[in-house]
Amino acid sequence: MLGQGFVSAAAIAASVLFILSLGGLSNQEKAKRAVWYGIVGMALAVVFTALGPGIGAYWLMIPMIIAGAVIGWKVAKQVAMTEMPQLVAALHSFVGLAAVFVAWSADLERRRVLAVRATEGAVEEFSAFAALVATKAPDELTFLQLEVVFAIFIGAVTFTGSVIAFGKLAGKVDGKPKQLPGGHLLNAVAAGLCLLLAIAYLNGAGFWTLLVLAALSFFIGYHLIMGIGGADMPVVVSMLNSYSGWAAAAIGFTLSNDLLIVTGALVGSSGAILSYIMCKAMNRNFLSVILGGFGGTSGPAAEIEGEQVAIDAGGVAASLNNADSVVIVPGYGMAVAQAQNAVSELTRKLRAAGKEVRFAIHPVAGRLPGHMNVLLAEAKVPYDIVLEMDEINDDLPSTDVVIVIGSNDIVNPAAQDDPNSPIAGMPVLEVWRSRVVIVCKRGQGTGYSGIENPLFFKDNTRMFYGDARDSIDTLIPLIE
């Protein structure tokens, strides 16, 4: 067992590594090193916390750590890149549920300490945490109760919200917004009851208040995310990331664990910042996303004229062979088809033929921020030709051919042309301004969000139907 000095030093080192990890993830070239910073930091945190003063029951702790590590490793190895958003949502749910359990345990220990004090017994017979609670003054115990309430509320909301987000991302739950009769009023009533229960608990009510508080919070998380449409899921995932961080920080205060406080605050603040960035990229108000998603429209959507004109691989190849500049817009359809390696090979062949090839990445492409960047990096697409929306939008009018692979909302002109569209005002990639647009798509459906796209009916658009990987593989040999 190590002294508190060693544990504090390790906590500082782990915190620095976590900060370096977050900073490095902003750059594709440094991302792998940043991930290792996080891995080493977490290893330090776990080992030195487990060896710290007052920690025991290693006969139970060590098998649980090993079992968790093995399960995590096996699950992560089996999860494809297309399923990474679902995995992230699932991991958020674990943090939320852990916060609820820790908060319940903390209050039970608080009650045991108070009972021992009333009988003038020895607190040492209980856990290390109970001994810690015993050192607290009455006002500090009140603050502990506030921490418990906050941890239960935010943890429970995070748990059920993340479970529903997982279901929507995995296609196990309908992606359309759904609410019970009463809509947001139910959430408001549940939140009000949570506040009343918290007040009752702080004034001496029994443990039952925390159980009912958790049940109501579970409902709020479920109903809140059920009411958010699939198109808003990237923001929801980053929001839940923030929630899980604040839940971790809350239990850090409860356990007097400085490292957990710092780590939770890092995750919570970075998730909140990311949520803000995502909402800005979608021209959405954060509260409107959380409370309703791509909710309603102010009137009927504009009528779409024309028809979708199909093209075969030979026609696409002819357009590419005659082009000098090509822009590729990847979307979730590319991830589902696992077409990134085929796209990388197409890019290599086009560049070898003297074409200028670049990628246009919308901030909310895919189901998770940075999803497309990770897939392209995995396929070894050069970083310098992968550009963000703001960097490439002005170049699209001078582009000969744009290839859209499995994208819908992020290239939808209705965002600019139709004030009644659910995505009205959302910044999009203006691919229709290029000379030719090739849309690689499975069929004529509206996609994950259910929003029709006028781009598919424009005169300069051709629909290249089929599985993205098969379509690109068919196309590659025809490039001269």
Q: What is the pLDDT along the chain (480 residues), one digit of tens a residue?
A: 666 677 888 888 999 999 999 888 776 677 788 899 999 999 998 888 888 776 777 888 889 989 988 998 888 888 776 677 788 888 889 999 999 999 998 888 788 777 776 676 555 555 566 666 666 667 777 788 898 999 999 999 999 999 998 888 877 887 777 888 887 889 899 999 999 999 999 998 889 999 999 999 999 999 988 888 766 777 788 888 888 899 888 888 887 788 889 989 998 998 888 888 777 777 777 776 666 554 444 556 666 777 889 999 999 999 999 999 999 999 888 888 889 999 999 999 999 999 999 999 998 887 777 788 888 888 889 988 999 998 999 999 999 999 999 888 889 998 888 888 777 788 899 999 999 999 998 876 655 556 788 999 999 999 999 999 999 999 999 998
Q: Which long-range contacts (CB under 8 A, 24 or more apart) does 215-219 make?
A: 216/190, 217/152, 217/153, 217/154, 217/155, 217/156, 217/157, 217/190, 218/156, 218/157, 218/159, 218/160, 219/160, 219/190
According to DSSP, the residues that pair with 464 across neighbouring strands are: 440
Query: Do 156 and 194 sit in the same domain of this protein?
Result: yes
Cβ-count burial of 194 within 10 angstroms (0-12 exposed, 13-18 middle, 19+ buried)? Answer: buried
Sequence-distant (≥ 6) Cβ neighbours of residue 299 within 8 angstroms: 419, 420
Tell me how many domains the chain contains: 3
User: Catalytic amino acids?
Assistant: 409
Q: Rounded to whole angstroms, how far apart are CA atoms 419 and 39?
A: 47
Residue 300 domain-assigned?
no
Q: Check if the beta carbon of residue 177 is closer than 8 Å to that of residue 295.
A: yes
Residue 303 domain-assigned?
no
Query: What's the confidence (pLDDT) of residue 213?
Result: 96
Residue 451 domain-assigned?
yes
Q: Rounded to whole angstroms, how far apart are CA atoms 278 and 89?
A: 17
Query: Do 350 and 230 sit in the same domain of this protein?
Result: no
Query: Do 64 and 122 sit in the same domain of this protein?
Result: no
Q: Rounded to whole angstroms, how far apart are CA atoms 35 and 24?
A: 8
Query: Do 86 and 230 sit in the same domain of this protein?
Result: yes
Sequence-distant (≥ 6) Cβ neighbours of residue 204 within 8 angstroms: none
Query: Do 277 and 318 sit in the same domain of this protein?
Result: no
Residue 414 domain-assigned?
yes
Q: Rounded to whole angstroms, how far apart are CA atoms 31 and 154?
A: 30
Q: Whose CA is closest to 436, among 399, 385, 388?
A: 399
Q: Rounded to whole angstroms, how far apart are CA atoms 457 and 241?
A: 38
Q: Whose CA is closest to 349, among 384, 320, 387, 316?
A: 320
Residue 299 domain-assigned?
no
Residue 322 domain-assigned?
yes
Query: Do 138 and 263 sit in the same domain of this protein?
Result: yes
Domain boundary among 231, 257, 292: 292
Which structure tokens are listed for 81?
A: 């890149």
Query: Do 96 and 60 sit in the same domain of this protein?
Result: no
| CA 140 to chain CA mean position, Å | 35
Query: What's the confidence (pLDDT) of residue 296?
Result: 47
DSSP assignments along 277-303, one per residue? HHHHHTT--HHHHHHHSS---SSPPPP
Provide the domain limits for residue 452: 313-478
Residue 306 domain-assigned?
no
Domain boundary among 245, 260, 292: 292
Q: Which helix (H) or strand (E) holds 357?
A: strand 356-361
CATH of the domain at 339: 3.40.50.1220
Query: Do 106 and 217 sit in the same domain of this protein?
Result: yes
Q: Rounded to whole angstroms, how far apart are CA atoms 273 and 242?
A: 9
Query: What's the confidence (pLDDT) of residue 295?
Result: 45
Task: Give ∠ CA 35-469-368 in degrees, rounded to 5.
Answer: 35
Query: Do 97 and 240 sit in the same domain of this protein?
Result: yes
Query: Do 47 and 158 sit in the same domain of this protein?
Result: no
| DSSP-derived secondary structure letter, 383 | G
Q: Check if the beta carbon of residue 375 is closer than 8 Å to that of residue 330.
A: yes
Query: What's the confidence (pLDDT) of residue 72?
Result: 87
Domain boundary among 78, 102, 125: 78
Query: What's the confidence (pLDDT) of residue 399?
Result: 96
Place of tokens 């670049």: 358
Query: What's the confidence (pLDDT) of residue 420?
Result: 80
Residue 390 domain-assigned?
yes
Query: Do 272 and 416 sit in the same domain of this protein?
Result: no
SS3 76: helix
Query: Do 432 and 467 sit in the same domain of this protein?
Result: yes
